[in-house]
């Protein structure tokens, strides 16, 4: 019967290891950023598009970009700089421009899909109609306190032109750019907008 004590201790140690692993997994899950590009209402191009912070912690939005792909194969990229920021603690809708964090449950109203596409075309001097657009990809880069590097999210929407223009998400979920292999791509989004210069000593 002398073996009962060591076996009992080993079983207890395994139970504690499993318990600690569950706690660690839950902690990581709760601290993981989760951003959603939400297509409100229906497939109408005049439906609102929102960037929603579904994570447990606030994030600071560094940039939001729109990439439009034309039926001709050309591709254009521009920053989405005008939006309404709505946080769950605010009583009024505040018009802001990249100021302050986006709280848990807060969201940015990026405008309608038509607005985003037409504003992008106007800023680059492109004279094209909505029917000339094949796909719209939205990207966001944010600073998330527990993360060592900026993280991001992206989602593509396909435009179908039959009896009228309809907008459909290409994928069910917004892709979370939080892995190590995503770091370089998110950094390139930020660099393309902010154009940082390396300081030379």
> What DSSP assignment string belongs to 68-119?
EEETTS-EEEEE---EEEE-TT-SS-EEESS-S-B-TT-EEEEEEHHHHHHH
43 and 95 in a common domain: yes
Q: Are residues 25 and 63 in the same domain?
A: no
Element (H, E) at 145: none
Which DSSP state fits 31? T
pLDDT for 163:
86
Q: Are residues 149 and 51 in the same domain?
A: yes
Residue 200 lies in a domain: no
3-state secondary structure of 53: strand
Range of the domain at 156: 32-194
Categorise residue 45: left if φ over 0, alpha if ψ from -120 to 50, beta otherwise. Answer: alpha
- pTM reported for the whole predicted model: 0.76
Task: Please state, in angstroms and as integers, the Cα–Cα distance from residue 185 to each residue in 70, 177, 188, following that order.
Answer: 22, 9, 5
Do 4 and 71 lie in one domain? The reply is no
107 and 175 together in one domain: yes
Same domain, 117 and 186: yes
**All residues at 6 or more sequence positions from 157 whose CB lies less than 8 Å from its CB, including other chains:** 39, 113, 135, 136, 137, 138, 167, 168, 169, 170
Task: Note whether residue 129 is domain-resident.
Answer: yes
**Do residues 85 and 22 share a domain?**
no
Q: Are 70 and 133 in contact (CB under 8 A)?
A: yes
pLDDT in tens, the chain (201 residues): 555 666 677 777 788 777 677 766 665 555 688 999 998 878 999 999 999 999 888 999 999 999 999 999 999 988 886 555 555 554 344 344 444 578 888 888 888 999 898 887 777 777 778 889 999 999 999 998 877 889 999 999 999 998 889 999 999 999 999 998 999 999 999 998 876 554 443
């Amino acid at each position: 019967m002398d073996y009962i004590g060591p076996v009992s201790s080993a079983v207890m140690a395994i139970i504690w290891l499993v318990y600690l692993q569950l706690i660690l997994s839950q902690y990581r899950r709760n601290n993981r950023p989760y951003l959603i590009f939400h297509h409100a209402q229906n497939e109408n191009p005049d439906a609102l598009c929102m960037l929603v912070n579904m994570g447990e912690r606030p994030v600071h939005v560094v940039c939001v970009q729109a990439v439009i792909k034309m039926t001709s194969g050309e591709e254009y990229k521009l920053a989405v700089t005008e939006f309404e920021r709505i946080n769950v603690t605010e009583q009024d809708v505040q018009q802001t421009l990249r100021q302050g964090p986006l709280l848990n449950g807060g969201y940015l109203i990026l405008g309608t899909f038509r607005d985003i596409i037409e504003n992008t075309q106007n800023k680059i001097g492109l004279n094209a109609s909505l029917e000339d657009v094949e796909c719209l990809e939205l990207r966001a880069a944010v600073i998330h306190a527990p993360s060592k590097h900026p993280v991001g999210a992206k989602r593509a929407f396909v435009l179908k032109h039959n009896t009228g223009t309809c907008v459909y998400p290409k994928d069910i979920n917004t892709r979370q750019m939080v892995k190590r292999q995503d770091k370089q791509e998110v950094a390139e989004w930020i660099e393309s907008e902010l154009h940082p210069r390396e300081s030379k000593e």
